[in-house]
């Protein structure tokens, strides 16, 4: 598929996917910005050892929460676009099973917390804080469920709004409780309250949406209600939980391995800082997989395989437009970016940040491919890829961290995520006959290299880095247009999409 030569169906698909991605990107951008502000505050409000501990505990929590974010919510995302008349039945059954899973997981983690703190993290004193953090499982279960419902109904503007509400709530409450003197415990309580804010925002948006009201009214005991009882929901949800736990293990094992194998608490803090800065853009880039999945599920269910290939091509093109220059930008300004967010003693994190940013970009690409496999219904195939890589990642992290310290853990993350991309991408590109437009990739790479070259000449520090990024971004876009990387047809599609955005927001209201 060449740039600028899409048929009308493909053009409409590209516009729809681009519009949805833009909405979710705005929410993810708010999430990333609030995360940066929170780390800016925490790295100065608490000592480096406490900050490093916070990062490790949040890595454990994030990994555990994936069972709630990926399981039942992914089932809801899959079935809502394919059977909108059964909206009530899907949401009713989904919410019930989401809370059953959440309560089960909460009880298990409370029991296992002392063992994991003493044996996994080698610090039994962290049991209380670990249990406090894991209390968020109960509130985040509600938040992720209703956010998944918004995504499945393709209410991408409301989806983005709920993300922003969660991020702002987490930032505000964390700053409040830490400022009151509660340190690590205060930050963890703030995280819980942020989930409550996100849950209430998503629930409010869902209840007032026209898409939800038009699909409501499926009575209990009817055929759609029986069709979406536990078996249907769980048959997709449970393998997806295992898939996500195995997949996120590839990027969350690093901080845990560093905490267990590196004795110097300051180095743990350095890795925590770099890991967050790298994973924050990755969270931004998940917008591509979040908008791809429901659109792809709908096209596959209706037998439109050519449209499915168009969706995947479009998602990969938009991802490359952001990902390649993003990596170049971070690699060119890593020391200055570190010191803009963190105190001066964190400067040693710069080399870690460059490697972990590459790993985050690879993982974002893997998520797009994994979403395509899941949308096809090949859950076991999707599951087999990260499960096969878990022991590889664990061994690589153990060996490389033990020998090279924190830089070894970062290399292990790159190796693991690269393997995931190769395995999943090989299948998806063949199965959906997705053409690779290497000319487009080359144009993006050349424009990104031009931007990177400028960072070799001059990079400001402190607050000036933000406007510097804006200038470099504008130069990147200008170079890309000059090279023909963005066509007039695409510009018109985006203008049309944002005209539709106004109507979409009005419909959701």
Question: pLDDT tens across 188-233, in order?
Answer: 999 999 999 999 999 999 988 766 665 555 555 556 656 777 677 8
Containing domain of residue 312, as a range?
8-508
| Higher pLDDT among residues 2 and 133, named by residue | 133
- Structure token digits, residue 191: 């995280």
106: in domain = yes
Both ends of the chain: CA-CA distance in Å? 36
The residues, any chain, with a CB within 8 Å of residue 86's CB and separated by 6 or more, are: 79, 215, 218, 224, 225, 227, 228
Phi then psi dihedrals of residue 387, to 5 deg: -65, -40
Kindly report which listed range (160-164, 377-381, 498-502) carries the lowest average pLDDT score.
498-502
Q: What is the pLDDT of residue 5?
A: 44
383: in domain = yes
Q: What is the pLDDT of residue 292?
A: 67
Kindly report which listed range (19-28, 133-142, 332-341) carries the lowest average pLDDT score.
19-28
Q: What is the pLDDT of residue 168?
A: 96
Q: What is the pLDDT of residue 241?
A: 84
200: in domain = yes
Residues 12-41: what's their mean pLDDT?
A: 76
CA atoms of 433 and 416, how far apart (whole Å):
26
Contact 296, 371 (CB under 8 A): yes
Q: pLDDT at residue 498 above 70?
A: no
Q: pLDDT at residue 383 above 80?
A: yes
The answer, as to whether pTM is greater than 0.85, is no
SS3 labels along 155-172: CHHHHHHHHHHHHHHHHH
Total structural domains within the chain: 1
> For residue range 387-416, what is the model confidence (pLDDT) as tens digits?
999 999 999 999 999 999 999 999 999 999
Q: pLDDT at residue 4 above 50?
A: no
Provide the CB-side half-sphere exposure for 82 (13 A, CA).
Answer: 22
> For residue range 164-194, what is the model confidence (pLDDT) as tens digits?
999 999 999 999 999 999 999 999 999 999 9
**Which is nearest to 145 in space by CA: 109, 93, 110, 219?**
93
Q: pLDDT at residue 503 above 90?
A: no
Residues 352-360: what's their mean pLDDT?
A: 93
- Give the three-state DSSP class for 262: coil
Gyration radius (Cα) of the chain, Å: 22
3: in domain = no
Q: What percent of the chain has pLDDT over 70?
A: 84
CA atoms of 386 and 180, how far apart (whole Å):
42
2: in domain = no
252: in domain = yes
Q: What is the pLDDT of residue 175?
A: 97
Q: What is the pLDDT of residue 483?
A: 87
Contact 31, 161 (CB under 8 A): no
Give 124's DSSP letter. G
148: in domain = yes
CA dihedral 397, 400, 402, 406 (to 10 degrees): -80
| Higher pLDDT among residues 508 and 357, named by residue | 357
**CA pseudo-torsion sign 57, 63, 69, 71:** negative
1: in domain = no
276's enclosing H/E stretch is: helix 265-301
Instruction: Give the position of tokens 């505000």.
Output: 172
> For residue range 434-455, what is the model confidence (pLDDT) as tens digits?
877 888 889 999 999 999 999 9
> For residue range 456-492, what is the model confidence (pLDDT) as tens digits?
999 998 889 989 999 999 999 899 888 887 766 666 6
Kindly report which listed range (19-33, 210-224, 245-259, 375-389) carries the lowest average pLDDT score.
210-224
Chain mean pLDDT for the chain: 84
Contact 161, 148 (CB under 8 A): no
> For residue range 272-320, what is the model confidence (pLDDT) as tens digits?
889 888 877 676 666 666 666 666 776 776 777 777 788 888 888 888 8
Q: What is the pLDDT of residue 57?
A: 93
pLDDT band at 45 (very low <50, low <70, confident <90, very high): very high
The residues, any chain, with a CB within 8 Å of residue 114's CB and separated by 6 or more, are: 124, 127
């Amino acid at each position: 598929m060449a740039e600028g030569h899409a048929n009308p169906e493909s053009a409409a698909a590209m516009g729809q996917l681009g519009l949805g991605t833009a909405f979710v990107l705005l929410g993810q951008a708010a999430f990333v910005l609030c995360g940066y502000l929170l780390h800016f505050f925490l790295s100065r409000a608490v000592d480096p050892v406490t900050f490093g501990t916070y990062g490790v505990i949040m890595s454990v929590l994030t990994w555990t929460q994936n069972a709630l974010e990926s399981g039942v919510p992914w089932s809801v995302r899959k079935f809502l676009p394919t059977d909108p008349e059964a909206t009530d039945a899907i949401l009713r059954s989904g919410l019930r099973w989401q809370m059953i899973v959440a309560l089960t997981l909460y009880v298990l983690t409370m029991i296992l917390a002392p063992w994991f703190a003493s044996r996994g993290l080698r610090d039994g004193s962290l049991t209380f804080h670990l249990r406090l953090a894991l209390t968020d499982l109960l509130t985040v279960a509600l938040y992720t469920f209703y956010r998944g419902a918004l995504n499945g109904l393709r209410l991408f503007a409301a989806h983005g709004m709920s993300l922003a509400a969660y991020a702002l709530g987490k930032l505000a409450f964390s700053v409040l409780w830490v400022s009151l003197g509660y340190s690590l415990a205060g930050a963890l309580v703030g995280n819980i309250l942020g989930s409550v804010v996100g849950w209430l925002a998503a629930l409010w948006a869902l209840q007032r949406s026209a898409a939800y009201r038009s699909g409501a009214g499926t009575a209990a005991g009817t055929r759609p209600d029986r069709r979406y009882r536990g078996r249907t929901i769980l048959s997709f949800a449970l393998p997806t939980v295992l898939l996500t736990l195995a997949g996120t293990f590839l990027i969350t094992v690093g901080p845990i391995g560093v905490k267990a194998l590196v004795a110097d608490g300051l180095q743990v803090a350095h890795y925590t800082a770099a890991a967050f800065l790298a994973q924050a853009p990755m969270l931004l880039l998940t917008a591509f997989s979040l908008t791809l999945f429901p659109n792809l599920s709908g096209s596959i269910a209706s037998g439109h395989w050519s449209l499915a290939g168009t969706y995947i091509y479009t998602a990969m093109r938009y991802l490359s437009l952001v990902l390649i220059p993003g990596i170049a930008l971070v690699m060119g300004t890593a020391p200055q970016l570190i010191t803009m967010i963190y105190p001066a003693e964190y400067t040693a994190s710069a080399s870690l940040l460059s490697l972990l940013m590459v790993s985050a970009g690879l993982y974002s690409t893997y998520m797009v491919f994994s979403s395509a496999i899941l949308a096809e219904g090949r859950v076991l195939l999707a599951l087999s890829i990260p499960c096969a890589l878990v022991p590889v990642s664990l061994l690589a992290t153990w060996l490389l961290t033990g020998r090279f310290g924190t830089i070894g853990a970062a290399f292990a993350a790159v190796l693991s995520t690269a393997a995931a991309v190769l395995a999943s991408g090989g299948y998806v590109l063949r199965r959906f006959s997705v053409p690779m437009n290497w000319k487009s990739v080359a144009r993006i790479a050349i424009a990104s290299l031009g931007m990177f070259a400028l960072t070799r000449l001059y990079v400001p520090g402190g607050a000036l880095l933000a406007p510097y990024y804006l200038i470099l971004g504008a130069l990147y876009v200008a170079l890309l247009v000059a090279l023909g990387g963005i066509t007039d047809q695409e510009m018109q599609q985006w203008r049309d999409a944002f005209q539709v955005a106004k109507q979409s927001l009005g419909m959701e209201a």
